């Protein structure tokens, strides 16, 4: 996928690829901001990130300032005060969004990227090529984590699926008619090929996002 001429779409794709490179769910900034050890009053909130990643968002100045604060925390690895271990683990050793010379993005750079005044970092100009080995790894990871969820909740696979389905129904990157495929994947009943696997899931895996949110 190549970049659009629309700066909002460029901004959206850059955020998606940065989050994907770090293995983050969309809610990571929200989780960080709301952590008792952080309590960032301006986010960035999950609803803002979701809107930004859809390319249909009209942020205020506070959004860019909040993202800059989050990015600085990632760059400085300032996570000692974070109380929720899952959030701390996801952020530890993660990479900040940087310019091509390695300078972490501040509020100015986030705003300039959003308005098209600067180009995105070269590392995020093109999509990573999703191969069959990546798909195989994703399917195995999802099935392993689904079993782990059932064990952690001390519930049946059917009950675990109900929990996952509820979150999937709210995820922007999955349609109602794709829920059956997600269920078959988690049950180990489906092993789709690259052609059969939804294209949008190669860029943003809704099953992975939901399992990361649900797992302790």
Domain boundaries, given as residue ranges, for the chain: 7-124, 132-214
Tens digit of pLDDT for each residue in 157-198? 999 999 999 999 999 889 999 999 999 999 999 999 988 999
Question: What is the rounded distance in angstroms from the CA atom of residue 158 to the CA atom of residue 50?
Answer: 29
Question: What is the rounded distance in angstroms from the CA atom of residue 61 to the CA atom of residue 184?
Answer: 44
Residue 22 has pLDDT above 50, yes or no: yes
For 120, what's the count of Cα atoms within 13 Å in the CB-facing half-sphere?
A: 25
Residue 1 has pLDDT above 50, yes or no: no
Tens digit of pLDDT for each residue in 111-142? 999 999 999 998 887 655 678 888 998 899 99
Tens digit of pLDDT for each residue in 44-95? 999 999 889 888 788 999 999 999 999 999 999 989 899 999 999 999 999 9
Whether this model's pTM surpasses 0.85: no
Give the pLDDT score at 210: 94
Give the pLDDT score at 87: 94
Give the pLDDT score at 2: 43
Task: Share the mean pLDDT of the chain.
Answer: 91
């Amino acid at each position: 996928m190549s970049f659009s001429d629309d700066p909002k779409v460029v901004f959206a794709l850059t955020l998606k690829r940065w989050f994907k490179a770090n293995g983050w769910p969309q809610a990571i900034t929200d989780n960080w901001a709301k952590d008792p050890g952080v309590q960032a009053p301006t986010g960035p909130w999950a609803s803002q990130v979701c809107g930004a990643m859809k390319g249909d968002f009209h942020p205020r100045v506070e959004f860019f300032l909040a993202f800059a604060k989050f990015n600085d925390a990632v760059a400085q690895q300032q996570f000692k005060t974070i109380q929720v271990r899952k959030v701390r683990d996801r952020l530890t050793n993660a990479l900040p969004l940087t310019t091509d010379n390695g300078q972490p993005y501040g509020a100015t750079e986030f705003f300039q990227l959003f308005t098209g005044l600067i180009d995105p970092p070269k590392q995020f100009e093109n999509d990573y090529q999703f191969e069959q080995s990546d798909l195989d790894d994703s399917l195995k990871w999802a099935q392993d984590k689904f079993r782990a969820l059932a064990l952690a909740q001390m519930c049946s696979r059917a009950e675990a699926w109900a929990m996952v389905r509820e979150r999937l129904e709210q995820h922007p990157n999955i349609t109602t008619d794709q829920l059956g495929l997600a269920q078959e994947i988690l049950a180990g009943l489906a092993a789709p090929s690259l052609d059969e696997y939804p294209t949008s899931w190669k860029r943003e895996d809704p099953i992975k996002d939901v399992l990361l949110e649900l797992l302790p």
